[in-house]
Structure 1
Amino acid sequence: MRRHGRRLAARATALAGLVALVAGCAPGGTEAAADRPVVLTTFTVLADIAAHVAGDHLTVESITKPGAEIHGYEPTPGDIRKAVGADLILDNGLNLEAWFGRFVAGVDVPHVVVSDGVQVIDIAEDAYTGQSNPHAWMSPLNVQIYVDNMAAAFAELDPEHAADYRANAENYRTQLQQVHDDLVERLDVLPVNQRALVTCEGAFSYLARDAGLTEKYIWAVNAEQQATPQQIASTIDFVNTFEVPAVFCESTVSDAPMQRVVEATGADFGGVLYVDSLSGPDGPVPTYLDLIRHDVKTIAAALTADRVS
């Protein structure tokens, strides 16, 4: 962890210098940016949510591309040029974007933490014990808070269209509530001892809470993850003890450690879940609603396979 901390500090120092350099030589703006205010988000999931709230009044862009791993991302000079030209920057907060503080420190652009107001769940295992679990967007209920924060920020940025932002947010909240209600209904058939969600990363604490599931994961956070024999053994014991019918892994990491759990327990591999990034337009989860619906359907289908026709 000390070496990891020194690397982060070195990256932060280099990034601060890069921000100053790019900010000093950035152009004053473009005609396209003058047409609509530009909102920049740290990753694709936030960009899609923000775009639904913004409607046609704002231009929303993501710093990271589809498929990118957000935890250890290293911003590029192009990212900084985008930030300098933006009117508002949105980040998740909760220590998700370890690189973000220094990224915005040299950029004179307001930013909003969209997770403000979420009831935070702390990480319970590994070196991250006691830190906030950053994956709050994996709860459709939490994203309703994200949406309200975005609508308020957009109304301040662009008061003329404040009513539209509020209306867009309310419509999106309704869809999010439907996803939550569907998850709870689908999992209602599970007996108490099998109400468990086992994944590679601890990214589903909030979704598990929403659904009344006990969460178990191999590692807590994807940053520098390497499954240890102890972590795999602990997961195997959990699956055997609670007779968990299926286990899962995320799209941005190797499922090899979880496949060892499958081999040792006889549990099914329930499928790939999406967390940190959307897919491209032609992929399986091009929007946040697609992502959360995919995960809900995949989890529910695998855990209830022997109980539904």
Structure 2
Amino acid sequence: MKKSLFGLLLLSLPAFALAAKLPVVASFSIVGDMARQIGGDRVDVVSLVGPDQDAHVFQPSPADVKKLSASRLFVTNGLGLEGWMGRLTKASSFKGVLVEAGKGIKTRMAPAEEGEEHGHEMVDPHAWHDPQRVQVYIRNITDGLIKADPQGKAEYTRRAAEFAAKVKQQDDWAAKEFAAIPAARRKMLTSHDAFGYFGERYGIKLLAIQGVSTEAEASAKGVAQLVRQVRQEKVNAVFMENMTDKRLLEQLTREAKVKIGGELYADALSKPSGPASDYLKLFHYNVETILKSIR
């Protein structure tokens, strides 16, 4: 009798509850959260580069190699963000589904980092700061999840649609708020050039101490030039980022006699107790922080 009751209980459970969750590795916390939002209870997502950490300078450890070798789906940003990815996938002998979340988006080009030999432009990888481009991320991640776990197609499709609607809602709100601010006030300076797509989407002029990679070091000459530009253009919105060295920005604000308007979340989520613990919170927090300084 007990055995038959147990069997009935098993039959009453959803199929995915009886199976192990899909092991997913994400390159960094932002795309990791997107995979989690779409995958729901069917997935177990681990981010190699965690909250408040910098994907530009990350160096994989043997433990990371082990995580990837055990996963069935690897979600990356692509667009040149993860320079370490090729070495990691080779070392882990990864045989699962590889998703480049940014594949197919319309990219923007950024000036080459200081000290590069050829001086050519490079692709800006920070496309997640434009919610319209995030819709491409959502489609790519959803397709990868379905390929790795075909039985979850209906669930992934439903959750992706819900997440996409929430992203659009945030975009509509931000576009309305920024459109109400005169173009002359829509200027901001950050510690590295991570908000180019954001500025393009909402008509904000951006200045940055570092280039699109935090590996690039700003020169004294470059900082001096920025001080002059901040003064000339009367930039009031100056921001630190959660995963970069704040000393250069503090020096610049002293010399330009402007105040730091707050901390933005550029390349990483906050810790769970912070204000940007998932993508939607990150975006909303960044918009509100910027609006307070440029209004």
Q: Give, in angstroms, the shift of residue 237 of structure 1.
A: 2.3
Q: Aligned partners of 2:175, 2:292: CA distance in 1, in Å? A: 13
Residue number in structure 2 paired with 1:121:
108
Tell me whether 1:72 sits opposite 2:63 in the alignment. Answer: no
Q: Give, in angstroms, the shift of residue 297 of structure 1.
A: 0.7
* Cα contact 1:51–1:60 (8 A) shared by 2: yes
Moved more, 38-47 or 213-222: 213-222
Residue number in structure 1 paired with 2:23:
38
Partner amino acid, structure 2, of 1:99: W
Residue number in structure 2 paired with 1:250:
241
Q: Give, in angstroms, the shift of residue 101 of structure 1.
A: 1.0
Q: Give, in angstroms, the shift of residue 272 of structure 1.
A: 0.6
Percent identity, aligned pairs only? Answer: 28
Tell me whether 1:199 sits opposite 2:190 in the alignment. Answer: yes
Describe the SS at the equivalent of 1:86. coil
Residue number in structure 2 paired with 1:190:
181
Output aligned runs, 1:202-217, within 5 Å: 202-217=193-208
Tell me whether 1:84 sits opposite 2:47 in the alignment. Answer: no
Q: Aligned partners of 1:69, 1:181: CA distance in 2, in Å? A: 29
Q: In structure 1, which of residues 270, 273, 278 is the aligned counterpart of residue 264 of structure 2? A: 273
Partner amino acid, structure 1, of 2:192: E
Q: Aligned partners of 1:181, 1:264: CA distance in 2, in Å? A: 37
Describe the SS at the equivalent of 2:83. coil
Residue number in structure 1 paired with 2:5:
none
Q: Give, in angstroms, the shift of residue 125 of structure 1.
A: 4.5
Describe the SS at the equivalent of 2:42. coil
Residue number in structure 2 paired with 1:10:
none
Residue number in structure 2 paired with 1:165:
156
Which structure has the larger Rg over C-alpha atoms? Answer: 2
**Uncovered stretches (5+) of structure 1, i.e. residues with no partner:** 1-31, 305-309
Q: Give, in angstroms, the shift of residue 117 of structure 1.
A: 1.5
Q: Aligned partners of 2:230, 2:179: CA distance in 1, in Å? A: 20
Q: Give, in angstroms, the shift of residue 129 of structure 1.
A: 4.3
* Cα contact 2:192–2:214 (8 A) shared by 1: no
Q: In structure 2, which of residues 123, 126, 131 is the aligned counterpart of residue 135 of structure 1? A: 126
* Per-residue CA distance 1:37-85 (angstroms, 9 max, x = gap): 2111101111111101001112221112222211111111111111111
Partner amino acid, structure 2, of 1:90: V
**Uncovered stretches (5+) of structure 2, i.e. residues with no partner:** 1-16
* Cα contact 2:96–2:148 (8 A) shared by 1: no
Residue number in structure 1 paired with 2:282:
291
* Cα contact 1:67–1:278 (8 A) shared by 2: yes
Q: Give, in angstroms, the shift of residue 268 of structure 1.
A: 2.9
In structure 2, relative to structure 1, the CA distance for the partners of 1:129 and 1:268 (3 Å cut) is farther
* Per-residue CA distance 1:225-276 (angstroms, 9 max, x = gap): 4331222122222222222222112111122222233223333311111122
* Cα contact 2:37–2:163 (8 A) shared by 1: yes
Tell me whether 1:111 sits opposite 2:109 in the alignment. Answer: no
Output aligned runs, 1:225-264, within 5 Å: 225-264=216-255
* Cα contact 1:180–1:210 (8 A) shared by 2: no
Describe the SS at the equivalent of 1:221. coil
CA RMSD in angstroms comes to: 1.9
Q: Aligned partners of 1:85, 1:100: CA distance in 2, in Å? A: 16
Output aligned runs, 1:48-63, within 5 Å: 48-63=33-48
Describe the SS at the equivalent of 2:123. coil
The total of aligned residue pairs comes to: 273
Q: Aligned partners of 2:214, 2:238: CA distance in 1, in Å? A: 21
* Cα contact 1:193–1:243 (8 A) shared by 2: no
* Per-residue CA distance 1:178-213 (angstroms, 9 max, x = gap): 222222222223322332221110000111111111
Q: Give, in angstroms, the shift of residue 145 of structure 1.
A: 1.0
Q: Aligned partners of 1:269, 1:223: CA distance in 2, in Å? A: 19
TM-score using structure 1 length = 0.83
Q: In structure 2, which of residues 139, 152, 168 is the aligned counterpart of residue 177 of structure 1? A: 168
In structure 2, relative to structure 1, the CA distance for the partners of 1:45 and 1:102 (3 Å cut) is same
Residue number in structure 2 paired with 1:47:
32
* Cα contact 1:201–1:218 (8 A) shared by 2: yes
